[in-house]
Structure 1
């Protein structure tokens, strides 16, 4: 084993200190800024260089603002159903506009609607460990400093009731179908009004639409509301644990320097609002060639769970991660397991919902991987976006396992450049 109990305590204390000293740290908040300044002071104790990069973003847009827009447009859509021709088609327009914004912003992160949201300033913090000899390659390890808003859906200890979610989103389909039926029925005369008054026209299509409305509409509000929330969590596991592992990597390598590899360790800002810190980082350091001969290891929720999940493909943001890196992570795990048979087991796979900073590296063409510790049964990080994500719920053995894997990974890559 490369590490000892002092390394484990260092990582735990790193998380515990930030949580107690700065509390919840939403994107662009003073707490996020102050926490990154504290991390910089900490990295200066053992790094050859440290820096903070500030950048501007719109913290209210992603993902909360996107879901609020979808909820608003879906909620007002029914108003147009009982109207005379051509009013009912506006119900579908609301739904299609809401879904278009939802898809183009949540999945493709176009930021076309950012003008609707207040701008703020966030920051990334990094330290650099120089090799003993010439820098032949670079490895970047990162976590993130900001913490998330507790989504209402995260309050479920087990899986959320999928039937309720499906009923809620069926409301959108129900509205589109009936608005088309009534619109074209009015257009060709196949649907005649049963009652008319002012701008309203009641037809058989309205009966079909509004009878199940009393069930479907509340489920729609509940389903979309499940992705909203007001309470900013401490984010001990997601994702100060990864920032702590990154710092511990630097602390260890300061005394056991690689021969050929320069190692960057850091903590990004504004990950929970669309990986904005990683976007700024990739844009800045990609332009000056720092990411060309490099691996970016994005660590997530590195302090609790039963399974190490190495993400090969991020379907949500259409990001494919580096097989080259994955094989070396697997090799590192294999080496450690010979000495420590109790090390956390791993799997390699794809994610369909949820993402990480790794997508920003992958989209720009750089070699990256996202590594996350999750609850193997629930297939999500433990205490994900929950008020229970506190230091006391971290598992020190998991922190140590992830640190050992990362250090062995550095050693393997360093050997390749001898």
Structure 2
């Protein structure tokens, strides 16, 4: 049994209005802060009140909300201190010079370690040193008529991002600043190491270190903790693909025999995929008892750039080939008839990466121009920037994937 076009259209209209209501009445949803929880509770209430799921729960977890993007300011301090300390080598005191060389090298190496662990691998390395708050996921289940033999989870994240100041100008500006700073830090490590080995600090290396300070200042403008994105596209569109999938099944009277359909609305994705990671830990082993697929929907906005992501976390994590194949099947469904290209998340990560790394079979679908999205992670991501046609395509893919997942089981 298919979901009718009328029910799908009503779901799209409902979602556009719900997203507008959240952005207007609740506002931006900082990871692990009251507005994020308020939005999660509001959406859960919508699910419960309308009977779109048989059960739903809020699952709490701890988060250090400034760790992921806040590392840029931390390493900015480390790198600037290390560079300026090089000026003390001009004093001519041997003991002081040796200490400065070692401290500068340690600070530069530590900065690179933080970048690699926090950003490339999303490991909570500095989180333990920062203040913690409580974030939450919403997990809603639409049960089958019989025993649960397979489970498909549609995912979106509810929190919104801090404004990425440089990204607001152009993505290339932010990438360029980070690339220059990374090269300066790596060059400094090489130079400081050579100076320690040779026991000398040439004047040119001191001048170089002093010049890098100018580049490192850019790290303090990567993000602005005082301004948050409204997060209409990123990622309330993904959230309401998940919610609307349950809505459509319920209103169509569709209930599968052995396939459980779930909506997972994660918190603190923008803080480093912390909600998705918390889910994999809390529900560890459940994917072994019941075959479980997770599809993460993120930013249903740029129609021509809708993509299935088979690699994630800047290409460092491989998503599930089985889930990718399911999405291909869904896109070729007659009701969708819109094959999507496969891609690699080029910069950052989606929740699918955390699910995959946590042992779940997962993949992501996103609709965002990877080269330039003027609304991305800034104050322009407002409801008027949404494109219902793209959201509708995302919902169609989700519904077709759910149907194919149940059909393939038989």
Do the two structures share a fold, i.e. TM-score over 0.5? yes
CA, structure 1 residues 300+381, in 2 after alignment: closer, same or farther (shift >3 Å)? farther
CA, structure 1 residues 180+51, in 2 after alignment: closer, same or farther (shift >3 Å)? closer
Query: In structure 2, the residue corresponding to 1:132 is in which secondary structure?
Result: coil
Query: In structure 1, the residue corresponding to 2:124 is in which secondary structure?
Result: coil
Alpha-carbon displacement from aligned partner over 1:162-199 (angstroms, at most 9, x marks no partner): 655443333223433443344344x3xxx5xxxxxxxx
Matched with 1:219 is: 215
CA, structure 1 residues 380+405, in 2 after alignment: closer, same or farther (shift >3 Å)? farther
Separation of aligned partners in 2, 1:177 and 1:408: 53
Mapped pair 1:14 → 2:6? no
Cα deviation for residue 326 of structure 1 reads: 0.9
Matched with 2:348 is: 354
Separation of aligned partners in 2, 1:56 and 1:126: 17
Matched with 1:71 is: 76
Separation of aligned partners in 2, 1:15 and 1:413: 28
Contact 1:322 1:368 in 2 (8 A): yes
Query: In structure 1, the residue corresponding to 2:331 is in which secondary structure?
Result: helix
Pairing partner for 2:123 from 110, 118, 121: 110
Mapped pair 1:39 → 2:43? yes
Separation of aligned partners in 2, 1:275 and 1:43: 24
Per the normalisation by structure 1, the TM-score is: 0.87
Separation of aligned partners in 2, 1:355 and 1:269: 15
Q: Gapped runs of 5+ residues in structure 1? A: 192-202
Alpha-carbon displacement from aligned partner over 1:113-143 (angstroms, at most 9, x marks no partner): 2232111011111221122343221000111
Contact 2:36 2:159 in 1 (8 A): yes
Alpha-carbon displacement from aligned partner over 1:335-362 (angstroms, at most 9, x marks no partner): 24xx566x5x621022242111112221
Matched with 2:402 is: 410
Flag the structure with higher helix content: 2
Alpha-carbon displacement from aligned partner over 1:285-335 (angstroms, at most 9, x marks no partner): 224557741101111112344211111112547321111111121111112
Matched with 2:5 is: 3
Greater shift in the superposed pair: 287-296 or 348-357: 287-296
Separation of aligned partners in 1, 2:322 and 2:66: 36
CA, structure 1 residues 133+359, in 2 after alignment: closer, same or farther (shift >3 Å)? same
Separation of aligned partners in 1, 2:340 and 2:101: 52
Separation of aligned partners in 2, 1:120 and 1:162: 30
CA, structure 1 residues 324+288, in 2 after alignment: closer, same or farther (shift >3 Å)? closer
Contact 1:67 1:228 in 2 (8 A): no
Separation of aligned partners in 1, 2:291 and 2:328: 21
Counterparts of 1:19-418 in structure 2, within 5 Å, are 19-44=23-48, 45=50, 46-64=52-70, 66-82=71-87, 83=89, 84=93, 85-86=97-98, 87-157=100-170, 159-160=172-173, 164-185=177-198, 187=199, 205-210=202-207, 213-214=210-211, 216-223=212-219, 225-227=221-223, 229-254=225-250, 255-288=253-286, 292-316=290-314, 318-336=316-334, 343=338, 346-375=340-369, 378-379=370-371, 383-418=375-410
Per the normalisation by structure 2, the TM-score is: 0.88
CA, structure 1 residues 289+172, in 2 after alignment: closer, same or farther (shift >3 Å)? closer
Separation of aligned partners in 2, 1:413 and 1:291: 17
Separation of aligned partners in 2, 1:319 and 1:212: 35
Contact 1:305 1:382 in 2 (8 A): no
Query: In structure 2, the residue corresponding to 1:81 is in which secondary structure?
Result: helix
CA, structure 1 residues 292+384, in 2 after alignment: closer, same or farther (shift >3 Å)? farther
Contact 1:236 1:394 in 2 (8 A): yes
CA, structure 1 residues 243+382, in 2 after alignment: closer, same or farther (shift >3 Å)? farther
Query: In structure 2, the residue corresponding to 1:72 is in which secondary structure?
Result: helix
Query: In structure 2, the residue corresponding to 1:230 is in which secondary structure?
Result: strand
Equivalent residues, number: 394
